[in-house]
Amino acid sequence: MTSALSLLHDRARQLLDPVHYDYFAGGAGDEVAMGENERAFRRLALLPRVLCGNDTRDTAVTLLGDRAAGPVIVSPTAFHRLAHPVGERATARATAAAGTVLIASMASTMPIAEITAAARDVRPDAVVWFQLYLQPDHAVTTELVHRAEKAGCTALVVTVDSPVFGRRERDERNGFLDLPPGLAAENMRDLPGSPPGDTLDIAMSTALTWQDIRRLREATALPLVLKGILHPADARLAVAEGADAVMVSNHGGRQLDAAPATIDALPGIVEAVAGRVPVLLDGGVRRGSDAALALALGAAAVGVGRPVVWGLAAEGETGVRQVLDALGAELDHALALCGARRPGDLSRDQVVARGLGLAGGAPC
């Protein structure tokens, strides 16, 4: 991690209830997938290009029609009020100030309308997407989609890697089964099938199929991002079923512990979609150079999750902004050293396994 991120993580660990720290920090099983997400980046190297005249650089990207100041966006993470009293409101304000995309979690401890309002109080054109778990009751899913639309979200990010909850052994040891009194997954309040004022539990279902994606596609005109794609065949199916983007993700190592690191899975997904839709990635991004590696391998943007939570827990809105600013500055620095003016200038032939070289390459 950057020195700034490392300091924020250390402070967050000191401030958080140890049970809540473990909830955010932990992964599934032996936490192999979680650790591999970071270690896999260390096994890769970037080959710089020189004398490219890139004295001015522009990190801005356009994602699904939304403009962001840079390709580092905020991935969905649940329960921000466990980390800081202001919760998702602080995260939204900091992300808007940084000019990037916030993917708000369906399991937020504030309703999506309040999150988008907080973001647009800072920047009227702030970009907020809504992360969604398809619910077994289609009426519940449809109501959640309508709330996201009404709140002004401009895309839906559908998490598809969770037919069941991951086995998170830290939470099991700690007996962390529910939120403390006064906190709830606010987007699940007053939904079809729940008593007035009550919240429904977020349900996972092994019965969900691609037919459910088709039903969702028919229910909304918002762009759909399918998050949790690791197999090239699923990437091809996602495109065929009308997804507007896919996100390579192993849920931060919180679902299948045997899953590969996301940066290792990325090239196969990029090849499978063959430029038909953008490919995003999250999992293990802790440096701007990590983002540069993913961009060079074909990602349009990368998401960060835990670092945002550490910034929030340590310094609230200021801490989240520090995380995003640090990663953005590091990415710009990597672009300068790699001969790139824009994120899209990075190329596959600039990525090698550490200890190996690569011949060839056209003039920049």
Instruction: Give me the active site residues, please.
Output: 251
- Is 299 in contact with 248 (CB distance < 8 Å)? yes
In DSSP terms, 132 is beta-bridged to 158
Could you list the beta-strand ranges (E) of the chain. Answer: 44-46, 61-63, 66-68, 72-74, 101-104, 127-132, 156-159, 224-229, 245-248, 279-282, 301-304, 351-353
- Is 14 in contact with 152 (CB distance < 8 Å)? no
Total count of residues recorded for the chain: 364
- 167-198 burial code (b ≥16 CB/10 A, e <16): ebbbbeebebeebeeeebbbbbebbeeeeeee
Q: Where do we find the tokens 């290009």?
A: 49
Distance of CA 97 to the CA centre of its chain: 18
- Cα 115 to Cα 109: distance, rounded to the nearest angstrom: 10
- 278-314 burial code (b ≥16 CB/10 A, e <16): bbbbbbbbbbbbbbbbbbbbbbbbbbbbbbbbbbbbb
- Cα 296 to Cα 218: distance, rounded to the nearest angstrom: 34
Tell me which amino acid residue 51 is.
L
Tell me which amino acid residue 338 is.
C
Cβ neighbours of residue 149 closer than 8 Å, sequence gap 6 or more: 220, 222
- Is 63 in contact with 302 (CB distance < 8 Å)? no
Cβ neighbours of residue 343 closer than 8 Å, sequence gap 6 or more: 59, 61, 70, 71, 295, 331, 335
Tell me the CA end-to-end span of the chain in Å, nearest whole number: 30
**Environment class of 122 (CB within 10 Å of its CB; exposed 0-12, middle 13-18, buried 19+):** middle
